[in-house]
Amino acid sequence: MKKTILPILFGICLGGLSAQNYTLQDIVSGKFSERGVKPPVSSADGMSYYQMNDERTAVIKFSYETGKAVDTLFNTRKARECSFDTFEGFLVSPDENRVLVCRDREQIYRHSFRATYYYHDVRRNLVRKLTENKSKQMIPTFSPDGKMLAYVCDNNIWLAKFDFDTESQITKDGEFNAIMNGATDWVYEEEFGTTRLMEFSPDNKMLAFVRTDESKVPQYRFQTFDEKLYPDFYTYKYPKPGEMNSTVECRVFDIEARTTRTMAVPLDKDGYIPRIAFTDSPDELAVMTLNRDQNRFDMYFVNPRTTVAKLVLRDENKYYIDSDFLTSIVFANGRFTYISEKDGYSHIYLYGKTGALQKQLTKGAFDVTRLLAVDPQTNNVFYESADESPLRRNIYKMNMEKGNSIKLSAEQGYNSATFSNNGKFFVLRHSDIHTPTQISLHDANGKLLRMLEDNQATAQKIVEARLPQKEFIVVTAADGVTELNGWILKPANFDASKKYPLVMVQYSGPNSQEVTDRFGIDWEYALLNEGFLVACVDGRGTGARGEEFRKQTYMKLGILESDDQVAAARYFATLPYVDGKRIGIWGWSYGGYNVLMSMSRGNGVFKAGVAIAAVSDWRFYDSVYTERFMRTPQQNQSGYDNGSPLKLAKQLQGNLLLIHGTADDNVHFQNAMEYTRALVAADKQFEMFVFPDKNHSIYGGNTRSYLYKKVIDFYKKNL
């Protein structure tokens, strides 16, 4: 499938005697970044896709099979009464009779945004503003027949009917920081990955939505400076472990009768509704719930007219249910799919409409990591799995009737895929530790239709810069038994007779992976220019190695993760070319938290560490994420205490650089402030740097370059 670059990589190996030829600025500026492709937006039938042109003036329809443009659905320069030249995003109705475009996009949180929307009537070639409401709109959703559009404005749902050129307000109780209809609160967006809980029925007669009441959720405030003489404050609702969550309920608006009913779904007062979806029947609304401990998942089929709910599926787990698996539920032909860990690995199961298990589709000592698509016509299911190795991913097709699986990804390494509707075509992304991502388009049988991007230009730049290659390694965990996956980077002019300082980079969070057979060039390559070695080890609790491996940190976050980084550091110290007295550790977010834990529990094995945007006590983080792995502080006080860098401040050893953004709405600046207080009380000297008005990602302008220069200088001074 791919164009080989083996001769190029061989050249890198032979070039090991000369120093690498690149700078930190080369990396930060994106010189070695891989080129991507515009994401194709699938048509309803999955045979075509839509893309915006480069000028952002038109929406063009392409054939998946040929790649050729077959229609222009919207063009600002040709549409009648179009008052703007460019737009920022678009939606196409299922019948292709209308194109919705947005302008003046305003980001809210990580994923959510509001914007001013316009709709284009394709048949009349006419543009109209969606609404005359002064406020911007959110989460626009077309009805299946394309004749209506629901959207949220000021926390209320509105319904536009295009054939009648009317709009009406569906809910009227929406209120900032109190009541939300259809849209989700901060914690749902961040931890359940959803910004919209609003769906039309298949017959276009009902609009289901989740009403969220966050009025009793405690508010969090942080100061925003923005170069003002008198700074402002930003205030929003943020539930912390053991505190009040939003309360939710599912409602359905009957479009013809203009009545709203509350569905009789059994739900704990502090439980969650992470997803709703109609089945292929308008009389069955699937409402998916989790209890607050997140160890019981229930799916109910609710009749939207009678409001009666019937329990169809219950999945209970001694640890927790991975809420990502809720997206694996696909309804087709009176059945549905679901990923469960009931046999110790994540696998796909097939259920009948009554909830009766029909069969386990995938089996084996490996994890299915994503369900990608279901084709109701052929009864094929498409999925991604780590069947070959935790380091790699493959794409498969399986027939639900015959049970035979066919590998669709030909190359070894890390494969991911995005399918068109109904699984008719897919875009495949493949890379390995040496090969930049190659993006190609395939049909449902895996046949290559065309290469979209081979990234040979990036590969050539890597050769010219003499970038060293990562080497996979295996390290024994702190338990003395478990083998952990890792990699190590050495400078191009590496001399095995010398002793080098080493920096360990890691993330270590539950079900995460930093060590994969996947291409990536990041800031740590700049450390090689300064005479450092760099290594990374995925400790216990990380992903793609079965349920028991990834969930063994349950109720005791920070213990096994830090033990394994310490054990890895001690292993590296035994290598003849590593200076065991000059080992550092680095991490961001959960990785920053584990830096603090490792330096506090490592008995001085780390001489220096950098913790960026780090959690310093799980009591400060959000309820959904923290309680999934720790339950509440009231249920697990010892777990919270043992895993708290605040409580371990007196044990911190080594030189620490603490970095945080003051406008971090995820891991609050409070974490750094309270940790500073604890270190001062413990008489522990440390360094700290603050980025004004920067969020959890700490980027923009010169920020990233400045940050990494500071980190590298810190290691040069202390290692």
Q: What is the pLDDT of residues 184-241, one digit of tens each?
A: 999 999 999 999 999 999 999 999 999 999 999 999 999 999 999 999 999 999 999 9
Give the mean model confidence (pLDDT) for residues 661-680: 98
Q: What is the pLDDT of residues 501-560, one digit of tens each?
A: 999 999 999 999 999 999 999 999 999 999 999 999 999 999 999 999 999 999 999 999
Give the mean model confidence (pLDDT) for residues 52-57: 97
* Number of separate helices (H) and strands (E) present in the chain: 12, 43
**Residue 60 domain-assigned?**
no
Name residue 142's amino acid. F
- Is residue 11's pLDDT more than 80? no
Instruction: State whether 468 and 499 are in the same domain.
Output: yes
Instruction: State whether 298 and 344 are in the same domain.
Output: no
Instruction: State whether 235 and 328 are in the same domain.
Output: no
Q: What is the pLDDT of residues 355-368, one digit of tens each?
A: 999 999 999 999 99
Contact 324, 193 (CB under 8 A): yes
Contact 595, 610 (CB under 8 A): yes
pLDDT number for residue 703 = 97
Instruction: State whether 337 and 253 are in the same domain.
Output: no
Q: What is the pLDDT of residues 247-277, one digit of tens each?
A: 999 999 999 999 999 999 999 999 999 999 9
pLDDT number for residue 608 = 98
- Is residue 719's pLDDT more than 80? yes
- Is residue 17's pLDDT more than 60? no
- Is residue 39's pLDDT more than 70? yes
Q: What is the pLDDT of residues 287-345, one digit of tens each?
A: 999 999 999 999 999 999 999 999 999 999 999 999 999 999 999 999 999 999 999 99
| Structure confidence at residue 18 as a pLDDT band (50, 70, 90) | low
Total domain count, the chain = 3
**Residue 48 domain-assigned?**
no
Instruction: State whether 489 and 578 are in the same domain.
Output: yes
Among candidate residues 425, 453, 481, the one where a domain is terminated: 453
Name residue 118's amino acid. Y
**Residue 63 domain-assigned?**
no
CA distances from 202 to 44, 208, 220, 283, 375 (A): 13, 11, 40, 9, 18
Contact 198, 141 (CB under 8 A): yes
Instruction: State whether 517 and 651 are in the same domain.
Output: yes
Give the mean model confidence (pLDDT) for residues 578-593: 98
Whole-angstrom distance, CA of residue 622 vs CA of residue 46: 38
pLDDT number for residue 20 = 84
- The CATH number of the domain where 380 resides is what? 2.120.10.30
Instruction: State whether 419 and 345 are in the same domain.
Output: yes
Instruction: State whether 269 and 378 are in the same domain.
Output: no
Residue range of the domain that includes 193: 173-309
Contact 651, 639 (CB under 8 A): no
- Is residue 646's pLDDT more than 60? yes
- Is residue 670's pLDDT more than 90? yes
**Residue 103 domain-assigned?**
no
Q: What is the pLDDT of residues 64-97, one digit of tens each?
A: 999 999 999 999 999 999 999 999 999 999 999 9
Instruction: State whether 594 and 674 are in the same domain.
Output: yes
Instruction: State whether 446 and 575 are in the same domain.
Output: no
End-to-end Cα distance, the chain: 45
Pairing of strands 335-340, 331-332: antiparallel
Instruction: State whether 462 and 449 are in the same domain.
Output: no
CA distances from 165 to 128, 131, 149, 150, 340 (A): 10, 10, 11, 14, 46
Share of the chain above pLDDT 90, in %: 97
Whole-angstrom distance, CA of residue 80 vs CA of residue 72: 15
**Residue 96 domain-assigned?**
no
Among candidate residues 453, 484, 504, the one where a domain is terminated: 453
Structure-token pair, residue 340? 């469960």
Whole-angstrom distance, CA of residue 377 vs CA of residue 27: 47
Q: What is the pLDDT of residues 593-603, one digit of tens each?
A: 999 999 999 99
381-387 own/partner pairs: CB under 8 Å, 24+ apart: 381/337, 381/348, 382/408, 382/417, 382/419, 382/423, 382/426, 382/444, 383/348, 384/415, 384/416, 384/417, 386/544
C-alpha closest to that of 711 among 26, 24, 31: 24
Q: What is the pLDDT of residues 125-137, one digit of tens each?
A: 999 999 998 899 9
Whole-angstrom distance, CA of residue 406 vs CA of residue 395: 9
pLDDT number for residue 7 = 29
Instruction: State whether 490 and 410 are in the same domain.
Output: no
Pairing of strands 126-129, 687-691: unpaired
Give the mean model confidence (pLDDT) for residues 176-187: 98
Strand order in 483-489's β-sheet? 471-476, 483-489, 533-537, 500-505, 578-588, 608-612, 655-661, 687-691
- Is residue 583's pLDDT more than 70? yes
| Structure confidence at residue 441 as a pLDDT band (50, 70, 90) | very high
**Residue 41 domain-assigned?**
no
**Residue 655 domain-assigned?**
yes
C-alpha closest to that of 97 among 135, 65, 144: 144
**Residue 128 domain-assigned?**
no
Provide CB contacts within 8 A for 580, sequence distance 6+.
Answer: 572, 573, 574
Whole-angstrom distance, CA of residue 572 vs CA of residue 519: 24
Whole-angstrom distance, CA of residue 251 vs CA of residue 210: 6
The string over 396-428, giving b where at least 16 C-beta atoms fall within 10 Å of a residue's C-beta and e elsewhere, is bbbebeeeebeebbbbebbbbbebbbbbbbbbb
Among candidate residues 280, 309, 338, the one where a domain is terminated: 309
- Is residue 12's pLDDT more than 70? no
Whole-angstrom distance, CA of residue 661 vs CA of residue 13: 40
Whole-angstrom distance, CA of residue 388 vs CA of residue 445: 20
Provide CB contacts within 8 A for 560, sequence distance 6+.
Answer: 477, 478, 539, 540, 541, 552, 553
User: What is the pLDDT of the chain when averaged over all its residues?
Assistant: 96
Give the mean model confidence (pLDDT) for residues 562-588: 98
